[in-house]
Amino acid sequence: MRLEIESLGKQYSEGLWGVRDITLRLGAGVHGLVGPNGAGKSTLMRMLTTVTPPTEGAIYWDGTRVSESPGVVRSVLGYLPQDFDTYPTLTLEEYLEYVAALRGLDSETASARVEALLDLVNLTDVRDRRLDTFSGGMHQRAGIAQALLNDPELLVVDEPTVGLDPEERVRMRNALADTADDRVVIFSTHVVADIEATADTVTIIEDGQLLTHAPTESLIQSVDGDVYECRVSRSTLEQLRQEFPICNTVQRADGVDVRLVAEGPPITDAEQVTASLEDAYLRTVTHAN
């Protein structure tokens, strides 16, 4: 299975481009799509899932052009949009059985899939609860379950961790990673930490433009040796902001703890630390601007 995106672009009626000239090759595994809010991630997701057509370029699934045969993707697609509706008066099990019927699963297959997915997303104990009693995290995990009902070869999830508490975020990431061995999973987020431990590759976009696409480890290695932490005064912090990408700051009684990316120690007592994907992301976006 292979998803190919060739020079893809989407222009809106007012002449603005939501996405422009995106080219990617994605095989089985988890692929993180990262960028700030408004970067064009959701626009790209809608094109990949055939919700909206591209203005230019093409999408191919296993060599077939999707615009000419949209069914080739729709038949293997699982999709969790950023905002999705359920039927609040249904129980979780009723909802999943209903979605399974809409997707053409026979009753025996549907029953087996629902059972397996309830276990995967850790919602077996609440299968008989109405959806309008669910927390935000439970609602999102129910969304993952419905997206996986047809055992899709292509799974697209758009900002699945928005609004979740830290424990729910971990559960969501683990659920996605556990399904990725035999499918293409595209995980869109503006929270870089959500994909560091799960994504095989990372694509960074900003203002609708592709900044980089690389294996996760390669991106992290690209800033290895260039990440520092130090404690500085507030006035020194402002000077550092003018020269270096600042990854994080923590206020202390005697100053500010700073984490930044620099090609060499930014001050004499700066300590070199292990690089993260967030450090690599920040450098990429800063250099682009």
Mean pLDDT confidence for 120-130: 94
Q: What is the pLDDT of residues 202-223, one digit of tens each?
A: 999 999 999 999 999 999 999 9
Here the tokens at position 5 are 């995106």
> Which residues lie closer than 8 Å to 40 by C-beta, 6 or more apart?
10, 18, 19, 205, 207, 208, 209
Q: Are 174 and 96 in contact, with CB atoms under 8 Å apart?
A: no
Q: Specify the pLDDT at position 171.
A: 80
| CA torsion, ordered 176, 177, 181, 183, to nearest 10 deg | 30
Annotated domain spans of the chain? 3-219, 225-273
**What's the whole-model pTM score?**
0.89
Q: Specify the pLDDT at position 137.
A: 83
CA distances 148 to 12, 59, 117, 151, Å, are 31, 22, 8, 5
CA angle 2, 41, 8 (to 5 degrees): 55
268 CB burial (10 A radius; 0-12, 13-18, 19+): exposed
Q: Specify the pLDDT at position 150.
A: 93
Which fold, 3-219?
Rossmann fold (3.40.50)
CA distances 12 to 24, 180, 210, 261, Å, are 22, 33, 18, 36
Task: Report the C-alpha gap between 95 and 219 in whole angstroms.
Answer: 40
Task: Report the C-alpha gap between 98 and 23 in whole angstroms.
Answer: 37
Task: Report the C-alpha gap between 30 and 202 in whole angstroms.
Answer: 9
**pLDDT band for position 167 (cuts 50, 70, 90):** confident
Least confident of 6-20, 115-129, 173-187: 173-187
> Which residues lie closer than 8 Å to 92 by C-beta, 6 or more apart?
118, 123, 126, 127, 128, 129, 131, 134, 142
Least confident of 138-152, 171-185, 221-235, 264-278: 171-185
**pLDDT band for position 121 (cuts 50, 70, 90):** confident
CB atoms within 10 A of CB 126: 19
